[in-house]
Structure 1
């Protein structure tokens, strides 16, 4: 197992200020210049404005050791790779059918640097893969179907056991992916249908572990609820969110007990303080984001949030295509 830089980066969290306004989040170049980090405030992605629908992006995964990040393109399934200290990202994996991938959604990276990609509706109604696993060098390790033929794999997080856990935006299930004695396997790990009702729109989406790693925190965007999936049992319960408005909750970012909920089309970032086991959360603030951007999700890298500007509000997405940085609200 590789040595992680997470502990070494923890000191950067002290630069974060309370997010009472969009400016207070410290987005963009000016904030980073003020901190003297020497790192770009935004990262440019390669895109194709001339292609049908343009380029629209959604997921992001980060490798804490190498400083690299990976971004998924909904329109085509390409994967781009960037570095914390370089302003321009580049296409890393081709799309348009490469490894059966025509669209891509959530991404995460494990401690070995392996990249897990959720396919959204890529495998719905056909025999294409629902998800992929790649080595840091870009070698395809697995392209898997999941048991549910109606799955829409949205986001993914690494659990305490080292396996990857994918949320399903159709049925309220979580899929576990790991390499076993017989190779890579995708199995249904938890079914929350006893408490979670499938509704029109996007159901389960963003996913992170709780502070004490006893549970997964999962967002249901169409209802504005957060759900707790117990890691030991898979049992589901609703998280008390202190009356916070979380409709259109998409990506989740957690640092310690601080949880950021990105409300994509509502153009809000909500800051909650979780209790360690994620049975409840206290509302701290709700902050308006840039009215000209639709942020879908984000990840922490070198003490900063990297937020994906999706261009989902454009019929044909026009550049520039960017990842925007911000301080973690505290």
Structure 2
């Protein structure tokens, strides 16, 4: 069933035009998100490089917002508050076909509601799925070398694979690292990126500040020794051999040199971020990194709600 897509009038021409030029002309430094009257907290971000679009997920109601690289103003793309069974949304990513994958965090715990959703580029709901098992908190998602989407679980050390086959969309348990990755209090597996040579996923375990390598062929897992303080590691961004780790409540960005196979990582630097913001994750779009200001430090979030391009304290 196709859901209504709400887009600000000022953005219609840009969104309908297809590919957005990759140059930096007139690109804003800050993107503005429209929040709810009662306060909104944003978390995940996905980027569609080919179309020049980005998508931001909201925690308290589950709506999905959309923006373009060239405009400072975003708009609500998909409603929340129960739309498609979605009352909260976390990690989000986009595949080569423009399909949008949304992780539901605790949306399905004790409710029977979906744990994740897949939408076409025009906002049509393709799938609303439960992940196998119980107590599943889907945190983040990345596209694998096979084109499937891989979702991390912040409760148990598990990763789920979501793909369409001849009978439709399915969610299956792809990797179970129980016995290797120890479940600890707080948020366990979170940020996930594909290695440069596409042989592994690099996954953050934020509560203990560790990185893990999951082999894309065998699902075997081992720790990536970094020697760095990565506690509160949340979002991960890989650009070539540079890995950026967004350390939310630590208000730091860690930059590491990551080997092509994701097997080794060496700290390059740690940088303090704006102390008035709690940044959760980031994605690159047309050569720039976009960071989500979550407002997680505010009991009731207040505007402005923003995605920023320069989070580092100067």
Alignment TM-score > 0.5, same fold: yes
1:61 aligns with 2:46: yes
SS of the aligned residue for 1:254 comes to strand
Name the CA distance, whole Å, in 1 between partners of 2:194 and 2:34. Answer: 31
TM-score by length of 2: 0.91
Aligned-pair CA distance for 1:37: 3.5
SS of the aligned residue for 1:265 comes to helix
Q: CA RMSD in A?
A: 1.7
Deviations 1:127-175 (A, max 9, x none): 1000000001000000000102210000000000000000000010000
Tell me which residue corresponds to 1:220: 205
Match of 2:275 among 282, 291, 295: 291
**Runs of at least 4 residues of structure 1 off by over 4 A?**
none
Aligned-pair CA distance for 1:327: 9.1
Match of 1:269 among 253, 257, 264: 253
Tell me which residue corresponds to 2:3: none
Tell me which residue corresponds to 1:251: 235
Aligned-pair CA distance for 1:278: 1.1
Tell me which residue corresponds to 2:95: 110
The answer to which of 254-263 and 318-327 deviates more is 318-327
Structure 1 residues 107 and 149, CA, compared in 2 at 3 Å: closer, same or farther? same
Tell me which residue corresponds to 1:22: none
Name the CA distance, whole Å, in 2 between partners of 1:326 and 1:253. Answer: 15
Name the CA distance, whole Å, in 2 between partners of 1:238 and 1:326. Answer: 31
Task: Give the number of aligned pairs.
Answer: 295
**Where do 1:95-134 residues align within 5 Å?**
95-134=80-119
Unaligned runs of 5+ in 1: 13-35
Tell me which residue corresponds to 1:313: 297
Deviations 1:68-99 (A, max 9, x none): 10000001000000000011000000000000
Deviations 1:40-72 (A, max 9, x none): 000000002x31xx1000000011111010000
SS of the aligned residue for 1:326 comes to coil
Tell me which residue corresponds to 1:29: none
Tell me which residue corresponds to 2:9: none
SS of the aligned residue for 2:249 comes to coil
Name the CA distance, whole Å, in 1 between partners of 2:149 and 2:25. Answer: 32
Tell me which residue corresponds to 1:174: 159
Deviations 1:266-294 (A, max 9, x none): 00000000011111111100000000000
Does structure 1 conserve the Cα–Cα contact (< 8 Å) formed by 2:274 and 2:311?
Answer: no
Unaligned runs of 5+ in 2: 1-18
TM-score by length of 1: 0.87
SS of the aligned residue for 2:84 comes to helix
1:84 aligns with 2:64: no
Which structure has the higher relative contact order (CA within 8 Å, separation 6+)?
1
Tell me which residue corresponds to 2:187: 202
Name the CA distance, whole Å, in 2 between partners of 1:272 and 1:64. Answer: 23
Tell me which residue corresponds to 1:18: none
Tell me which residue corresponds to 1:17: none
1:43 aligns with 2:49: no
Does structure 2 conserve the Cα–Cα contact (< 8 Å) formed by 1:304 and 1:326?
Answer: no
Deviations 1:245-285 (A, max 9, x none): 00000000000000000000000000000011111111100
Tell me which residue corresponds to 1:189: 174
